[in-house]
A and B are shown apart, each in its own frame.
Chain A
Amino acid sequence: MQEKEFAQRAQKIRGKLYKTAVLYLGSHSQAVDALDEAIYKGLCACRRLRESQYFDTWLTRILINVCNDELSRQKRICPIDEMPEMAAEQFDALPLKDAIERLPKELREIVILRYFSGFTLSETAKLLGIPQGTVVTRQRRALQLLRLSLDEEVTA
């Protein structure tokens, strides 16, 4: 893929990318930094992307890795005890954004990708490297905890 095409396609999905980053990291400025890093890495690697139909998931995967690296870095700098798992009724009391942040990692990822970034079941499974069935199970559990009645195919 040439750089010009990379720039055009990245611009097209910037909404998906930003929403993914901000919900992973919890702040606008950290999300913008993560976007910068992902765009840089994507630009360096775009010539190696042979099948351009996978561009969206490919670049999002880079972004997710950047976000996870940042979260790991934050833990190293400021280690905190792992929060105990919350009981289902405790999620009710939290604003939705905070509740999403408190979800276990594997459920939070599903919610972000499926219901805010707009990826399909199949795309989400590819992004996370898990079977579609696992995505279905996890999204059902996440929606239960968040008390959200969202359809399988409903996206933001």
Chain B
Amino acid sequence: MNRMEEYQRLAEELEDAVPGLEQSLRKAKYRRLCRNIIWRPLTGLAAVFALFVVLVNVSTPVANACSQIPILRRLAEAVTFHQSLQDAVEHEYAQVMDLSQTDGDVTATVEYLIADKSKLYIFFRIQTDEEMPIMTDGTVSYQYSILPRGAEKIQEEGCHGLGWHNFEVLENGLRMAELEFIGQARHAIINQVSFQLNVYAADYTKMDHFWEMENLGEPVAKFDFELEYDPDLIAHSKTVFVDQSFELDGETFTVEKVEIHPTHMKVQLSEDPRNTRNLDGLGFYVESEDGTRFAKSGDASSGGPWESILQYELASPYFYDVEGMRLVVTSAVWIDKEKQSAQVDMIGEKAESLPEGWEFLSAQKYSDEWLLILREPYEENRKEMIALDYKCYDPNGKEWHMQSDFQMGEPDAEGEITYMLRTIRLKGYPFGEITLNFKHMTRFAADTPIVIPIQ
């Protein structure tokens, strides 16, 4: 064989031996994850885990074994419902906590935590000796520092009550508590919180109304976790000041700013005070130049004391390499500014001037609260509808806020559902009469979506 033939043969042998990189990539991802974990404070199981991590970094056989350990797999499985949390976990933007406490027959384990400057997500598991339905509430408290210009550092404290709406039960038994930092706390790096958790033996599936969750009795177990996490792993967020106005169906809005956090994107809009109608909901999404869409994940919340400021939450582009982002508005639900009123005599069980299709069914007084039941017409995808306003008024004109929820009615002979049963709760209401307000709402779909450039 001459040299050229040797060369060709050697080249072919090398070509045949080329391995795939799947294993290398998998090992690299876990190695990087282990490198991040090692800086966590060490307590209990975490100390053993950190030693394992050191071994991973120096020993190839152990490194191979690490690729089998589902460090974040349970979390990845649990957050598939939430695009941004899923993206965060895929990019290892999550911290392993692994802290357990036991109170009687109940063990709580805080397994993971995802934090950015705006939100904190705590992932935990509750195990009980006997299988029983449980519910949770609690608080999260923390301290942070702010440095006002030209002044000395100020130490502040924050405390959030976590009600039932702050918790969610995820896949594979993991539970999630979510809280949003507000005010000055959003500008600080908070890397230590006290998580106080109450566990109740209660089954929400057996409750008729959500307010029944207020009366869960005494907790069967209580826990206090001190959660300390790596501040270097709290990413800085980005704010894009847009300040672009647009007109939709004759009404004017301004896209004020867009905040991009690892866990979500927030779009803030303001309504022009000269608008003839208020906005109940806006149909829109954010899209990048390459067509990647970031959908809305939450309805509008008020941006503060000004009702004309609206904030919407969307999936975040934080982990994507996107350019040329734009906001695409497709539809809206308008509320007429004028409200329609109806007088309800709860003692006499009669009502006047209810909107067409609405019917007053009953009113019951329990201890210090009234429960009213109304029948409300229902039609899917109606262009126009009448909805009950949460503000109502007593005989003296004072404003009260009701709680209400609904149940779908029975299907008719054609299998169509044409009504809902609306239950109104008036807690602490001392009078026998009430004025209800109804708002007239209209759906609007834009023939051509309105596009507002963001970056």
Contact = CB atoms under 8 A, between A and B. Distances in A.
Which residue, A7, A36, A115, A146, has most C-beta atoms of chain B within 10 A?
A36
B18 A95 contact: no
Which residue, B15, B19, B29, B319, has most C-beta atoms of chain A within 10 A?
B19
B21 A35 contact: yes
B131 interface: no
Interface residues of B, number: 27
Nearest to A147: B3
Nearest to B321: A2
Interface stretch (A11-19, A64-72, A77-85, A129-137): A11-19
Contacts of B63: 36
B6 interface: yes
B29 A43 contact: yes
Interface in A103-128: 115-116
B25 A39 contact: yes
B62 to A, nearest CB: 13
Interface string A1-26: 11101010011001100110011000
B288 to A, nearest CB: 13
Contacts of B21: 7, 10-11, 14, 35, 39
A7 B91 CA distance: 13
A16 B24 CA distance: 15
Interface in B2-41: 3-4, 6-7, 10-11, 14-15, 17-21, 23-25, 27-29, 31-32
Contacts of B60: 33
Main secondary structure of the interface of B (DSSP, over half): helix
B141 to A, nearest CB: 35
What's the interface size class on A, roughly?
20 to 34
B366 interface: no
Contacts of A53: none
Contact of B18 (A14, A97, A147, A148): A14
Interface of B: 3-4, 6-7, 10-11, 14-15, 17-21, 23-25, 27-29, 31-32, 60, 63, 91, 319-321
9 contacts: A3-B91, A5-B321, A14-B21, A18-B18, A33-B60, A43-B32, A97-B10, A116-B14, A156-B15
A-B pairs, 4 with minimum CB distance: A156-B11, A40-B28, A96-B6, A39-B24
